[in-house]
């Protein structure tokens, strides 16, 4: 008989009932069961948080699997590997001996491997005359094969949780941005309300985000941010704007009534050339950039625009801008007028103006002339989207109240 001996002892921890149960389960593997060892390893890596494992323990597991010659772990085969600590350390990126033993113990406690102790506590294999292994003492990989389906399910659970966490974080980012825009716009537009208190509530919720890690905690904060945003929108709908904003609203209504008094505003640059006029120079922005508003607020104020979006709904600004191009053509707004509005106001704000014009279509005689007038005002820094959106939201709220 030939014996391969490795004199390196390995540390042991007290046997527990849980470990005994795990050994019984691994001993009853389905007959002829086989699984790719690296697929099982990837599932174990994905499920490491549920298994309570750290990266170094997984590096040690990787090293142990590398000593098993076959790609598949198969029931009935010898699934015991018996490398020395020095060999394991070399394949585990030079991990120190003490750390190696600690992580081997973690793998045993996690139920991924079993110790198959020799009488003297050393790892070795006893071979027959033909060189085949008759008996081996070391680490048994059978638990990995026995738990392959369980590890796959655990890995999927972690993936689903990570996806849920990602979605919640994205929604929180959108809510934070929208609330910030709404509060800033309300203060700058002079909306009535205790905005200092709202600001303090917003800061208090955001400060708690730093310590939130679990999806459940983040979901709670997302609910609070959603309620806060809805509260801000309700305040704007109910109290709307101060006297200065009301004056701006009156000014807008006057422009609507007189939007067809200057028909030359509808002439395209090519038409002006035919009349002997010089093409207008590139627009120059003289005022501050127009403040944009959250997409959700725009869609709420201008629900009709959704009918012209791809799929009949607006989920992102790209949908809004695609719908605006369709509506622009339907309203008879020339491409050059819309392009100029995009250059002066920005694409998102230009699309918002088109959506507002669509809502007030029955009150505007010339959509193209009205858009050019607003674009000129925006270039002079005399136009704000706030009063226009607030007026539409007031009208929607009033209509709902009457229908109720």
| Burial state string for 304-323 with b = 16 or more CB within 10 A and e = fewer than 16 | ebbebbeeeebeeeebbbeb
- Strands 34-36 vs 80-81: parallel, antiparallel or unpaired: unpaired
CB 181 within 8 A of CB 290: no
pLDDT of residue 44: 93
pLDDT of residue 38: 94
- Percentage helix, strand, coil, to 5, in the chain? 65, 10, 25
Structure tokens at 32: 């002829």
Rounded to 10 deg, the angle between the 148-189 and 215-239 helix axes is 20
- Strands 72-74 vs 34-36: parallel, antiparallel or unpaired: antiparallel
Residue with tokens 């399910």: 153
Sign of CA dihedral 65, 67, 71, 72: negative
pLDDT of residue 75: 83
DSSP E strands in 201-343: the ranges are: none
Alpha carbons 39 and 45: distance in angstroms, whole number: 10
Rounded to 10 deg, the angle between the 367-379 and 243-257 helix axes is 140
Alpha carbons 43 and 158: distance in angstroms, whole number: 10
pLDDT of residue 79: 86
Ranges of residues in the chain whose predicted pLDDT is under 50 = 1-13, 15, 17, 241-253, 255-287
CB 60 within 8 A of CB 102: no
pLDDT of residue 247: 43
pLDDT of residue 390: 80
CB 374 within 8 A of CB 357: no
Alpha carbons 399 and 393: distance in angstroms, whole number: 10
Which three-class secondary structure state does DSSP give residue 33?
coil
**Hey, what long-range contacts does 151-154 have (CB within 8 A, 24 or more apart)?**
151/40, 151/43, 151/44, 151/47, 152/43, 154/43, 154/46, 154/47, 154/50, 154/51
| Nearest C-alpha neighbor of 34 from the set 82, 70, 83 | 70
Alpha carbons 124 and 81: distance in angstroms, whole number: 9
CB 205 within 8 A of CB 228: yes
DSSP 207: H
Alpha carbons 333 and 320: distance in angstroms, whole number: 17
pLDDT of residue 283: 41
Distances (CA, A) of 3 to 64, 128, 215, 350, 352: 21, 8, 54, 83, 82
């Amino acid at each position: 008989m030939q014996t391969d001996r490795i004199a390196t002892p390995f540390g042991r921890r007290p046997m527990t009932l849980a470990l005994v149960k795990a050994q019984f389960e691994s001993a009853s593997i389905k007959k002829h069961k086989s699984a790719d060892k690296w697929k099982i390893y990837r599932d174990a890596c994905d499920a490491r948080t549920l298994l309570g494992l750290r990266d170094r323990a997984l590096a040690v597991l990787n090293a142990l699997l590398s000593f098993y010659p076959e790609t598949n772990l198969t029931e009935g085969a010898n699934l015991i590997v018996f490398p020395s600590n020095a060999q394991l350390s070399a394949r585990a990126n030079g991990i120190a001996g003490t750390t190696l033993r600690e992580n081997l113990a973690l793998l045993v406690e996690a139920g991924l491997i079993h110790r198959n102790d020799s009488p003297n506590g050393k790892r070795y294999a006893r071979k027959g005359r033909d060189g085949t292994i008759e008996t081996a003492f070391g680490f048994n990989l059978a638990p990995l094969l026995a738990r392959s389906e369980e590890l796959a399910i655990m890995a999927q659970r972690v993936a689903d949780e990570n996806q849920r966490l990602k979605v919640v974080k994205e929604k929180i980012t959108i809510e934070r941005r929208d609330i910030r825009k709404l509060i800033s716009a309300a203060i700058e537009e002079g909306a009535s309300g205790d905005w200092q208190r709202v600001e303090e509530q917003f800061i208090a919720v955001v400060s708690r985000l730093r310590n939130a890690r679990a999806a459940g905690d983040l979901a709670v904060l997302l609910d609070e941010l959603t309620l806060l945003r809805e509260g801000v929108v309700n305040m704007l709908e109910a109290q709307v704007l101060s006297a200065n904003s009301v004056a701006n609203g009156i000014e807008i209504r006057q422009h609507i009534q007189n939007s067809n008094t200057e028909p030359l505003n509808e002439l395209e640059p090519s038409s002006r050339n035919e009349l002997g006029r010089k093409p207008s120079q590139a627009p120059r922005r003289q005022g501050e950039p127009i403040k944009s508003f959250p997409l959700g607020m725009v869609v709420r104020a201008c629900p009709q625009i959704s009918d012209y979006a791809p799929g009949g709904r607006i989920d992102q600004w790209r949908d809004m801008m695609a719908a605006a191009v369709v509506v622009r053509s339907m309203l008879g707004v020339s491409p050059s007028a819309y392009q100029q509005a995009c250059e002066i106001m920005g694409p998102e704000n230009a699309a918002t103006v088109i959506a507002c014009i669509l809502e007030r279509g029955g009150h505007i005689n010339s959509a193209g002339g009205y858009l050019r007038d607003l674009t000129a005002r925006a270039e002079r820094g005399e136009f704000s989207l706030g009063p226009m959106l607030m007026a539409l939201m007031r009208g929607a709220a009033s209509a709902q109240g009457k229908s109720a």
